Amino acid sequence: MTMKVAEKLATYGDYVKTPEGAAYQLINGELIMAAAPGIRHQEVAANIFNKLSPFVRKHKLGKVFHAPTDVYFSNHETFQPDILFIETKRLNIIEEERINGAPDVVFEILSPTTGYYDLAHKKNVYESSRVKEYWVVDPREETIELFENKSKKFVSLVKLTTRGTIHSKLIAGFSLKLENVFEGI
């Protein structure tokens, strides 16, 4: 009779031992390494960050970070969202080495290597951890979908597929024009 021994789940302790600068995330107790994002992905991320960060700074709403910034959810879940926002009243979750807990808003830009995780497991963790808004940006299809967290369940508020403007409910006054997110690409 043989008995299968369960694989040991990787922990945050294992994660911090990975080489600095290596593109690892700790997803469901597994160290996942992805190649650097493609140029299109980086341009989309820059377009969003360059609109969001000055807006948040000007209105003193909180802080904006971009990848690679570690966000610790649990001993088996540490992600690097493409862009994240933390409200002023919750800045205490920012530590020297990581964000300790759920950001208020997460932007994930889909890519071939991480899209599955962004739309499945990571989305579930964001949802149960009470990320208040989840923006899913698809550079290939040039779409943006905005989810709002209602009682630990994401509800799609809007999905832009051609043109239009998407408005944050949480970041008062902030909006993105779809064509500006994908401009210059």
Does the pLDDT at position 6 exceed 70? no
**What pLDDT, on a 0 to 100 scale, did the predictor assign at position 118?**
83
pLDDT digits (tens, 9 = 90+) for 66-79: 999 999 999 999 99
CA distance 141 to 119: 15
Q: How confident is the model at residue 4 (pLDDT cuts 50, 70, 90)?
A: very low
* Dihedral sign from CA coordinates of 154, 158, 159, 160: negative
pLDDT digits (tens, 9 = 90+) for 126-139: 999 999 999 999 99
**What pLDDT, on a 0 to 100 scale, did the predictor assign at position 185?**
64
**What pLDDT, on a 0 to 100 scale, did the predictor assign at position 111?**
87
**What pLDDT, on a 0 to 100 scale, did the predictor assign at position 2?**
38
Does the pLDDT at position 42 exceed 90? yes
pLDDT digits (tens, 9 = 90+) for 102-116: 999 999 999 877 787
pLDDT digits (tens, 9 = 90+) for 84-101: 999 999 999 999 999 999
Bridge-partner residues for 79, per DSSP?
71
164 sits in the region (left: phi over 0; alpha: psi -120 to 50; else beta) called: left
CB hemisphere CA count around 177 (13 angstroms): 3
**What pLDDT, on a 0 to 100 scale, did the predictor assign at position 5?**
39
Does the pLDDT at position 183 exceed 90? no
CA distance 173 to 55: 9
Prediction pTM value: 0.92
CATH class belonging to 37-181: alpha beta
